[in-house]
Chains A and B, each alone.
Chain A
Amino acid sequence: MARIHPLTIRIATGDTRPISKQIVDAVRVEIATGALETGAQLPSVRGLAQQLAINPNTVAKAYSELTSAGWLEARQGLGIFVAVQRQRLSPEERDRRLDEAIGRFINDVVALGLPFAEAQDRLAVEMDAVMPRKSA
């Protein structure tokens, strides 16, 4: 029997993001970084709700959003698992979104007046932290 992979995510009340959105974001990061591997089983709806001290319906909502977006899959009677990740966006759409993100980043960073190399280094460190890891 597959063991449940614990989710070490944190949610904050008083955030402008609804709690279900915070869970969606956190799970996507866990999957993108490889902390949650394909086929890993997630905590039950009730279990995660209890862990985070929130309403189980909120967890159910987040799981169902992640399932319909292809991040997770529900196996009847067994639980929720990380789905095989596929390319979700068309190359054009990926490009467009990347341009948009870079535009925002540049706007904010130019105003800080940092040397280019320093900004670049910091970005590289942060990116490295969220990129999928090749497990040794």
Chain B
Amino acid sequence: MISALEKQAFDCAPRPDLAIETIGLTFHHGSKLVLDHLDLRVERGGIHALVGANGAGKSTLFRILLGFLPPDAGNSFLLRHDSLHLSIDDRRRVGFVNEEHSLPEWMTIAAVTAMQRRQYCDWNERAFASAIGNYGMLPSQKVGELSRGERAGFNLALALAQSPEILILDEPTLGLDIVAKGAFMESLLYSNATEACTIIYCSHQMEEIERLADNLIILERGRLANISPPDEFRERVSHWVADVPFKGPEAATIPGLLQRHLIDGIHHYLVLDQGEGFAEFLRDAGAGRIRTQRVSLDRAVNAFLARNHAAAGR
């Protein structure tokens, strides 16, 4: 017989093939529910893009995973270790780059680098040199003198040199110009330090996600709304164009509706998980000519995130 306590411990045992696991993770910010019993399982390896509207709980999730913030309920594990009890050795294996690229402004690049080099026993000088080589920074420059793009690059180079097993990037390219973005992505994708690494990457930029991500994770109001390769998600959304007479069916009755528009008397519907049966639905609603087409990833994700606005107010 196993006791209730042991059973609970067993249920919460982290799975070894997962880089990140959360079980019933819940967090309130004041009276607002930020994470709502979130169950998330992210496999090791690959690039995982995390998207969600502002306030979907992405940054909060990262803070809890890293042990900066205790959850109200539930468990979270990073590389099988409970986020609340990460040892120094566990933290060494986690790289984190946030949008602020916060580094001590008064220190020189050389001084910050020397400090990090001392702290991390698996320091990978080659990865550092190769990542920093994409920028024309001088070791004698102070962090405060760097542009936003250079700071981002420096921050990434430091994280890569740590030889992390998991790299968490919270909107790393936010506010960077197109050249700086390109340099950042190049350092990240083609670094020898990331080959065996799991990368979790939070972004609003669908173009980057389409190019980079193996896996698309969508958070919506603190819950998991999708986890699949981006192309599989795109396949779930279809665009239908039909000459349904008058106002067309009530939004609430349209199966899988994400978004709809009435343009020049023709109805456009973006719907989720609808097969040929949707044509049947449109015919029943009085449509004569019905066309369907695929959508871009950008369109699919935007419609999905906006879906709660589709039913309201029309």
Chain A residues near B (Cβ < 8 Å): 13-20, 46, 49-50, 53-58
Contacts and interface: CB of A to CB of B under 8 A. Distances in A.
Interface of B: 46-47, 182, 185-186, 189-190, 206-207, 210-214, 230-231, 234, 293-298
Contacts of A54: 211-212
Contacts, number: 48
Given A14-B296, A53-B182, A19 B210 contact: yes
Nearest to B190: A50
Contacts of A56: 189
Nearest to A17: B294
A16 B230 CA distance: 12
A54 B213 CA distance: 9
A53 B185 contact: yes
Contacts of B213: 55
B207 A13 contact: yes
Given A20-B231, A57-B46, A14 B207 contact: yes
Given A13-B297, A53-B186, 11 more contacts: A13-B206, A13-B298, A14-B207, A14-B298, A17-B294, A20-B231, A50-B190, A55-B47, A55-B212, A56-B189, A58-B211
Contacts of A15: 296
Given A49-B189, A55-B189, A57-B46, A19 B211 contact: yes
Contacts of A58: 211
A15 B298 CA distance: 9
Nearest to A54: B211
- Counting chain A CB atoms within 10 Å of each CB, the highest count among B47, B211, B213, B214 belongs to B211
A57 B190 CA distance: 12
A46 B213 CA distance: 15
A49 B206 CA distance: 18
A74 B231 CA distance: 25
A57 B214 contact: yes
Contacts of B296: 13-16
Nearest to B300: A16
A114 B116 CA distance: 70
Contact of B214 (A14, A18, A46, A55): A55
Contact of B211 (A16, A46, A53): A53
A13 B210 contact: yes
B36 to A, nearest CB: 31
- Counting chain A CB atoms within 10 Å of each CB, the highest count among B46, B182, B190, B295 belongs to B190
18 contacts: A13-B206, A13-B297, A13-B298, A14-B207, A15-B296, A16-B295, A16-B296, A17-B294, A18-B230, A19-B210, A19-B211, A46-B190, A50-B186, A53-B182, A53-B185, A55-B212, A55-B214, A57-B214
A102 to B, nearest CB: 21
Contacts of A14: 206-207, 210, 296-298
